[in-house]
């Protein structure tokens, strides 16, 4: 479908001590193929109060095809930085706001893919695939377990969730209530889970764009059993915290307890067969255990500081 309506899209990226990633991202954004009717601007929010990314932004901005705004958000936290990006985008009269991470690069037709699905479905939120890229061939157990792969769907599929690693959002969803991303999730992550859960409960339509591809560089520090297990725990933890905040009731708490028990039980059962089925199965079992434990811990208000450490360069 050809995008014919005139609109302004602000592409937002947050950065914190990832100079190589930010440089690669800006270079890739410069190669985007965009419909003639669409105006694009770029917003980079640096969550380093010293502005360590400024030189890279200035260098890239000199040859960038799109206007670029650089913002320093001195308050440490991914939610705070995301809100600063939204504020800059809205002040520039953006109709749509896209988010992409500073350890990712988009394919040339990434934005067009998102816009075409938005135009054809009328979706309030459009999200797409994030494909892992490894500098070196990963261990066999990583390939076998597909631990860094994410689900994909036919284009236009209606979803119940989205992620800010590859997403297009109608700006009106971000204006009210303010701030759009809950700043209690500053270093835990999950601010995007909370946001998309909230807007979906309020009737927002979330759609999938399978051709809107971005590629994520997986640094060596993430290629480990420990990181995968911690990540699974964090996902379970933040999901429970979000559910408690947005859909709290005793029946729902009981359902979460049951879900946690199922995950832990499944992990134990899988772990018992692990010695006979290889490392990938053992890691999957540990992930299920961790996810279940995270679900349970979130139910009692415990938090996990996932973003206390930066991975990658």
Tens-place pLDDT, residues 176-214:
999 999 999 998 889 999 999 999 999 999 999 999 999
Same domain for 86 and 22: yes
The CATH number assigned to the domain holding 84 equals 3.90.550.10
Is 313 within a domain? Answer: no
- 250-288 pLDDT, tens per residue? 888 888 899 999 999 999 999 888 677 899 999 999 999
pLDDT for the residue numbered 275: 74
Is 2 within a domain? Answer: no
Domain count, the chain: 2
Element (DSSP H or E) covering residue 130: strand 130-134
Is 271 within a domain? Answer: yes
Q: What percent of the chain has pLDDT over 70?
A: 96
Same domain for 20 and 35: yes
Q: Contact 129/214 with Cβ under 8 angstroms?
A: yes
The answer to whether the predicted template modeling score (pTM) of the entire model surpasses 0.75 is yes
Query: What's the domain range around 239?
Result: 225-308
**Helix, strand, coil percent content, the chain, rounded in steps of 5:** 45, 15, 35
State how beta strands 104-106 and 130-134 pair.
Answer: unpaired
Which of 110, 82, 117 minimizes the C-alpha distance to 25? 110
């Amino acid at each position: 479908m050809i995008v014919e309506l005139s609109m302004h899209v602000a592409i937002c990226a947050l950065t914190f001590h990832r100079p190589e990633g930010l440089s690669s991202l800006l270079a890739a954004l410069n190669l985007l193929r965009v419909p003639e009717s669409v105006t694009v601007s770029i917003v980079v929010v640096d969550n380093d109060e010293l502005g360590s990314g400024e030189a890279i932004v200035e260098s890239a901005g000199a040859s960038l095809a799109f206007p670029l705004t650089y913002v320093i958000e001195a308050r440490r936290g991914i939610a705070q930085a995301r809100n600063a990006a939204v504020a800059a985008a809205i002040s520039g009269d953006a109709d749509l706001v896209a988010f992409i991470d500073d350890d990712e690069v988009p394919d040339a037709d990434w934005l067009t893919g998102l816009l075409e699905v938005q135009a054809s479905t009328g979706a309030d939120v459009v999200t797409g695939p994030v494909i892992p890229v490894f500098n070196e061939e990963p261990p066999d157990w990583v390939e076998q377990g597909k631990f860094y792969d994410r689900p994909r769907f036919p284009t236009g599929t209606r979803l119940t969730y989205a992620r800010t690693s590859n997403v297009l959002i109608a700006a009106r969803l971000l204006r009210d209530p303010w701030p759009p991303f809950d700043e209690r999730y500053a270093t835990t992550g999950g601010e995007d889970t909370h946001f998309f859960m909230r807007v979906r409960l309020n009737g927002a339509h979330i759609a999938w764009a399978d051709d809107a591809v971005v590629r994520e560089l997986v640094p060596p520090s993430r290629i480990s059993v420990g990181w995968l297990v911690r990540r699974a725990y964090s996902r379970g933890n933040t999901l429970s915290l979000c559910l408690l905040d947005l859909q709290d009731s005793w029946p729902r708490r009981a359902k979460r307890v049951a879900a946690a028990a199922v995950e832990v039980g499944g992990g134990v059962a899988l772990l018992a067969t692990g010695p006979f089925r290889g490392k990938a199965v053992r890691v999957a079992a540990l992930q299920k255990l961790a996810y279940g434990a995270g679900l349970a811990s979130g139910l009692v208000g415990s938090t996990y500081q996932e973003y206390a450490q930066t991975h990658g360069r």
